[in-house]
Amino acid sequence: MNDVTYMERALELAALGCEWVSPNPMVGCVIVHENKIIGEGYHRKYGEAHAEVHAVQSVADPSLLPQSTVYVTLEPCAHYGKTPPCAELLARHRVKRVVICNEDPFPQVSGRGIALLKAAGIPTETGLLAEKGEELNRRFFKAQRTGLPYVILKWAETADGFIARPDGSPLKISNPVTDISVHRWRAEEDAVLVGKNTVLSDNPRLNVRHWTENKQPVRVILASSPEPFPGRHILDNTQKTLIYNREISKTEGLTEYIRAADLTAVLRSLKEKGIHSLLVEGGRKVHESFIRQRLFDEIRVIKSTLSTGGGISAPQLPSGILLEKNIRILNDRLFFYRNIPTF
């Protein structure tokens, strides 16, 4: 086997941290001695040990480490945060060589981990399968480079292009199996956003009850004024909720009201709060605002076979997007589009 094979394995391991490690990136690590994997690890949960620590601890015979190559998907950290520096760990064990997929753009790391390893006399290489690493951690990289979270727009529409009844009342469009996928999407992102009209008409919970209840996304509501939302689920204090408005800032239990002048200010505020990814679920005016200002990275459209003959029209797909794939779940067709990145 060669370097590519071992890095591919490290990327597979890194992906296992999806849903659990944000706002940290997903990281995997493989340790190889004489063409045999002797240690593996990945970052399992935010605040816990990093991938390199798990990999080193999994090595049955630590005396082999000075003759071993370490493959890691992201530059080992070089600062004291919630855990000690991983670059120091590898240097202390005097590993033979380190191969890195991506350099870390986080300012407290950015190049320092690599410099520490090289200063310890450890040959260090970067850039192996860099594009795959960028794709895996696209949320983290965008947030670090732009100061804005990664934004995914999602809506479900009927076969004839409607998302709600004419009076704005909710319309059940997607099937129950698709609903499970949507709840998984929620679990994979840091926050879920809707506008005040969606709160008032649909009374959504914005949780992941159909996927896992161990990790709930932050609920984000856009409201021009601090709406009371009487009897609505978003005020049930079961998960953190941020209500962005133009009038007041205050905190009531798990609900925080935050003043923000515009959509970009909302996104910057979310990034400052450690939210690196955002799933936008509506309604139409909210989606159109993100599309008009080009403040999105992906669009996911669920298309049903149901026809209604009228109602509130679905948002129009913008130009300059790429259809990456489409899949079928029972009678639903799911379309995945990607915006052309500018960061």
Question: Which residue has tokens 């910057």?
Answer: 268
Residue among 121, 20, 125, 110 nearest 72 (CA): 125
Q: Which of 154, 152, 179, 144 is closest to 22 using CA atoms? A: 144
What is the C-alpha separation between 94 and 98, in angstroms, rounded? 10
Q: Are the beta carbons of 37 and 55 closer than 8 angstroms?
A: no
Tokens 């450890």 -> residue = 122
Distances (CA, A) of 40 to 59, 78, 102, 280: 8, 20, 18, 36
With a CB cutoff of 8 Å and minimum separation 6, the contacts of 61 are: 38
Q: Which residues contact 252 (CB under 8 A, 6 or more apart)?
A: none
For the annotated catalytic residues, the residue numbers are 52
Distance CA 117, CA 95 (A): 10
Q: What is the number of H-type helices and E-type strands within the chain?
A: 10, 17
Amino acid of residue 252: E
